[in-house]
């Protein structure tokens, strides 16, 4: 079995394995063995790696080979799980019902619905990437709902004192990060279950690898994490209580992304440029979250950056009133300019991971 020793053949075979996840055994194993024997024959005939790569390319898309076998119908268990995921976002109506304000009863109902759907997902057969997407879709609504509640608590801002003219000093998260973070939580809570449900409703012709899935989810997770980390530093009692757990969540997200990036870098057949882009995305995303998790200061409609010096006439008030946790960006390397922080943060959290996922996914297809 020489196919796994040559990058072009090994890559084609790996793409076949992902595409063939929907085929039943033993036919999947029989077809794979036939293809391995055919690839071994091509290797024996090829005089160089370039000639082998050309011969493998003539085999076409592995997904077409799988499709020619005839995909089985979606099972009832899988169809039930898909329906549950598609209906799960309706739990978001609990936040819009006046009689059920966001709180413990609403969260209990959302968690109960999520557990039911998660049980259906775990009972359904699916490829590893599709199953991971479905599990995340089942968990997303309660997590996004809790994030929404915390966001409302955090983003009340930290008032310092009221002036006779009605003006007020307020230290708050960057307004752009608030908007983008809330949109990210909406996408996680509503979009992720729908996407997973639609994927479960159809038979798979190509798998979604876990490492690519991690890169695709990085923008939404990164923006939501940055918003919650920023809000937890506003000096409120809730923020103080949750600062540690939120930091743990951020570290878990970073570790997951690093693991996914390691798997991608070890994958044979990826171009050096693609691997460099993946490495840049994996290392830069946590840095981008830190850049976005900063603050701006407002006084009677005037805004100045968290790391910049305030106007001279209120410097004394600033010294007395601002909580130590948000007085200035903690890392010394964070730029003072708000636009620079936002631009670099979006580049690291959104642009690079999506570009890396696009490059890797293009190679898989």
Q: Which residue has the higher pLDDT, 27 or 142?
A: 142
CB-facing half-sphere around the CA of 11: CA atoms within 13 A: 22
Residue 297 counted as domain residue: yes
Residues 151 and 61 in one domain: no
262/278 Cα distance (integer angstroms)? 9
- Band (pLDDT 50/70/90 cuts) for residue 287 is very high
pLDDT of 161 reads 47
346/308 Cα distance (integer angstroms)? 21
Residue 43 counted as domain residue: yes
105/236 Cα distance (integer angstroms)? 23
Q: Which residue has the higher pLDDT, 319 or 285?
A: 285
The helix (run of H) or strand (run of E) holding residue 242 is helix 237-266
Split into its structural domains, the chain has a count of: 2
Is the whole model's pTM more than 0.75, yes or no? no
Q: What are phi and psi of 170, to 5 degrees?
A: -140, 130
Residue 129 counted as domain residue: no
Q: How many residues make up the chain in this entry?
A: 365
Residues 48 and 154 in one domain: no
Residues 150 and 297 in one domain: yes
- pLDDT single digits (tens) 120-129: 999 988 877 7
Residues 204 and 353 in one domain: yes
Residues 165 and 50 in one domain: no
Residue 139 counted as domain residue: no
- Band (pLDDT 50/70/90 cuts) for residue 199 is confident
Residue 62 counted as domain residue: yes
CB-facing half-sphere around the CA of 104: CA atoms within 13 A: 0
Could you tell me how many helices (H) and strands (E) the chain has, helices first? 15, 4
- The crossing angle, in degrees rounded to 10, of helices 192-200 and 128-154 is 160
Residue 99 counted as domain residue: no
């Amino acid at each position: 079995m020489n196919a796994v020793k040559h990058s072009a053949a090994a890559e084609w075979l790996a793409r076949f394995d992902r595409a063939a996840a929907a085929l039943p055994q033993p036919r999947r194993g029989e077809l794979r063995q036939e293809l391995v024997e055919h690839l071994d024959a091509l290797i024996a005939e090829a005089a160089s790696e370039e000639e082998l790569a050309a011969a493998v390319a003539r085999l076409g898309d592995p997904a077409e080979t799988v499709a020619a076998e005839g995909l089985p119908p979606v099972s009832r268990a899988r169809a039930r799980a898909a329906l549950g995921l598609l209906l799960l976002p309706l739990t978001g109506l609990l936040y819009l019902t006046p009689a059920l304000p966001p709180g413990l009863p609403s969260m209990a109902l959302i968690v109960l619905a999520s557990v039911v759907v998660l049980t259906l997902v775990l009972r359904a057969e699916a490829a590893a990437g599709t199953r991971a997407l479905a599990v995340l879709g089942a968990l997303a609504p309660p997590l996004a709902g809790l994030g929404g509640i915390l966001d409302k608590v955090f983003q009340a801002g930290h008032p310092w004192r009221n002036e006779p003219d009605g003006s007020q000093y307020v230290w708050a998260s960057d307004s752009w990060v608030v908007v983008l973070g809330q949109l990210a939580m909406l996408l996680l809570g509503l979009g992720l279950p729908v996407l997973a449900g639609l994927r479960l409703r159809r038979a798979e012709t190509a798998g979604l690898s876990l490492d690519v899935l991690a890169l695709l989810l990085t923008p939404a997770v990164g923006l939501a994490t940055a918003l919650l980390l920023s809000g937890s530093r506003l000096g409120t009692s809730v923020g103080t209580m949750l600062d540690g757990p939120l930091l743990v969540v951020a570290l878990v997200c970073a570790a997951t992304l690093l693991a996914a990036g390691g798997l991608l870098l070890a994958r044979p057949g990826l171009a050096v440029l693609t691997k460099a882009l993946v490495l840049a995305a994996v290392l830069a995303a946590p840095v981008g979250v830190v850049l976005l998790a900063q603050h701006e200061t407002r006084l009677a409609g005037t805004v100045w950056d968290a790391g910049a010096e305030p106007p001279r006439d209120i410097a004394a008030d600033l010294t007395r009133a601002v909580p130590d946790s948000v007085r200035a960006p903690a890392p010394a390397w964070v730029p003072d300019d708000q636009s620079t922080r936002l631009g670099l943060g979006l580049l690291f959290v959104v642009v690079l991971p999506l570009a890396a996922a696009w490059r890797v996914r293009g190679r898989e297809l």
